[in-house]
Chains A and B, each alone.
Chain A
Amino acid sequence: GENVEQHPSTLSVQEGDSAVIKCTYSDSASNYFPWYKQELGKGPQLIIDIRSNVGEKKDQRIAVTLNKTAKHFSLHITETQPEDSAVYFCAASGGNTNAGKSTFGDGTTLTVKP
C-alpha cells in the first residue's frame, strides 16, 4: 500500500525563523496532499492542501510545494510564532493503493522558542 515518510520528527526553531517539513510518498498515482496541525488535546486541523495538478500553494505564512517526479512535498512556515508550536502531519490520498482513505506521515513536533 501507500507509504508516507515524514522528516524531521522533531524541529525546534527560534521565533521569526522559518520551518520546513518534508514528506515523501510511494504511490505515484496519489493526487491529494493535505497538511494538518494538531494541538494538544485536539484533533488534526487542515492548514493547507495541494492537488497533483499544482506545484505550489501559499496561504499567508504557510506554503506547500509538490514535486510529482520525485514524489515529495514540503510544508514551509515563515516568520514562525510560538502559537505555531504543534504536531504537523502530512498525508497522501487518491492513489491506486489508497483510494478512499488517507495515509499519514508519522508527524513532526514543531517547537517555536520565543
Chain B
Amino acid sequence: KAGVTQTPRYLIKTRGQQVTLSCSPISGHRSVSWYQQTPGQGLQFLFEYFSETQRNKGNFPGRFSGRQFSNSRSEMNVSTLELGDSALYLCASSTGLAGVQETQYFGPGTRLLVL
C-alpha cells in the first residue's frame, strides 16, 4: 500500500506571496492532519480534516487554511507569506479521527522557504 505523499517536496517563495501544498493520504484513510515543524517550535498542529470537514484547529492565524476533497486528498494554503512561515509542513493520515487512539502515518513533508 502506498504511503502518504506530499507535493511539492521543496518550495521557495517571497514574502507576501501565497502557497498551496498538497497531501494524498494512504488509501482508505479519511483523516488528514497538518503540522508545521520548525527547529525552534517543534511539531505544531495546524488542523485536521475528516470527511471533508475541519474537525480540529490549532493556534495559527487565519492566513493558514485548508480543505479536503471527497477522495480524502487535502490541501493547505498559506496567504501573505512571512519569513517565519519557513518550515517543514507535514501531513499525516489515519483511518478515523486522528489522535483518538489512532495511529498517524506521516508523509515526507514539504519544505517551504520564504525569502
Which B residues contact A (CB, under 8 angstroms)?
4, 33, 35, 42-43, 45, 48, 55-56, 58, 90, 92, 97-109
Contact = CB atoms under 8 A, between A and B. Distances in A.
Contact of B99 (A45, A46, A101): A101
Interface in A49-105: 49, 51, 89, 93-94, 98-105
A104 B99 contact: no
Contacts, number: 69
10 contacts: A32-B99, A34-B103, A43-B107, A44-B43, A45-B106, A93-B100, A100-B48, A100-B55, A100-B99, A101-B45
Nearest to A104: B43
A44 B43 CA distance: 10
B101 A100 contact: no
Interface residues of A, number: 25
Given A101-B58, A106-B42, A34 B106 contact: no
Given A32-B99, A32-B100, A94-B99, A102 B107 contact: no
Contacts of B108: 41-43
Interface in A10-52: 31-32, 34, 36, 41-46, 49, 51
